[in-house]
Structure 1
Amino acid sequence: MASTTAQNFKQDMPPEGGYRKVNFARVFPKPFASTRALVGTYLVSTGIGFYLYLLNDKEIDHYQIESRSALIALKPLLDAEADRDYLKQLRKNRDVENKLMKDVKGWKTGTYYGEPVYKTVPKEKIIHPSLNEYYAHADPKTLENRAYWHKNL
């Protein structure tokens, strides 16, 4: 039985003349385009882009000038409205504190049981409250929207 398997078995041998040689030398890739062609393409595309920019520059400049002028004209009005809203909220906070603490004996608004909270600040200087104090009597969603405005974008 061993002799029959040996007769059917064929040894795998190299091809006649042997295997070809292994090429291990570094072969550089064929260039996509010549250097002159690449530089020429760059210069032509830059020239066309600059020409198109000069064509549209006047329209862009007029639009930017108009936008800036509108912003400059409206800035004082918008600042005044923001200051007005700020002072309205501070007044509302004071009125709510007066209403809330009216039954507490000896309570004076802006103090902590008659003791001034800020002792070293001159009377002419306004003390800006923290966000929590500013929105103390507002809807909690308002404070959340203001404090985390970047998440609402």
Structure 2
Amino acid sequence: MSAVPQQELPRPGGFPEIRYKRYLPKLGPSGLVLFSGITLMCTFGLYRTGQGIHERRELEREKVWSRIYLIPMLQAEADRDTYRREVAAREREAQIMKNVKGWKVGESVYNSKRYTPQTHVVLP
């Protein structure tokens, strides 16, 4: 005698639903709101960066032009200071070498008529 196997079937009315999802309430803004907010922040940041670059460029231009206008005055100040130091050096030389016969104060040690500034500093 052969026994017919009995197949297991679902119970009458079926099995209950298997909960594989998390049914949580929606919290926070939607993805579209987040994407729009990030886009606005990036746009504003790039706008402010552009303004900062423009401002920095203007300040750099102002600094360059102020240097261009100040260079002649600073050069004149340096020339006056150099002249004052050379006169003081000649006076010291005349005082030191007053007993040496044939010494010419301020005469160049170079065999040239070109002006050559002092290459060393004589401290008082």
Identity of aligned residues (%): 31
Q: Work out whether 1:118 is the aligned partner of 2:110.
A: yes
More helix by share: 1
Cα contact 1:94–1:109 (8 A) shared by 2: yes
Residue 66 of structure 1 and its aligned partner are, at CA, apart by 1.8
Question: What TM-score does the superposition give when structure 2 sets the normalisation length?
Answer: 0.55
The one-letter amino acid paired with 1:88 is R
Could you say which residue in structure 1 is the equivalent of 2:7?
A: none
* Long gaps (5+) in structure 2: 1-38
Question: What TM-score does the superposition give when structure 1 sets the normalisation length?
Answer: 0.46
Could you say which residue in structure 2 is the equivalent of 1:92?
A: 88
Q: Work out whether 1:127 is the aligned partner of 2:116.
A: yes
CA distance in 1, matches of 2:77, 2:88: 16
**How many corresponding residue pairs?**
83
Residue 64 of structure 1 and its aligned partner are, at CA, apart by 1.6
Q: Work out whether 1:137 is the aligned partner of 2:123.
A: yes
What pairs with 1:2-151 in structure 2 (closer than 5 Å)? 50-111=46-107, 117-119=109-111, 121-122=112-113, 125-131=114-120, 135-138=121-124
Residue 50 of structure 1 and its aligned partner are, at CA, apart by 5.0
* Long gaps (5+) in structure 1: 1-43, 139-153
Could you say which residue in structure 1 is the equivalent of 2:18?
A: none
Structure exhibiting the larger radius of gyration computed from Cα positions: 2
The one-letter amino acid paired with 1:63 is L
Specify the SS of the correspondent of 2:80.
helix
CA RMSD of aligned residues (A): 2.4
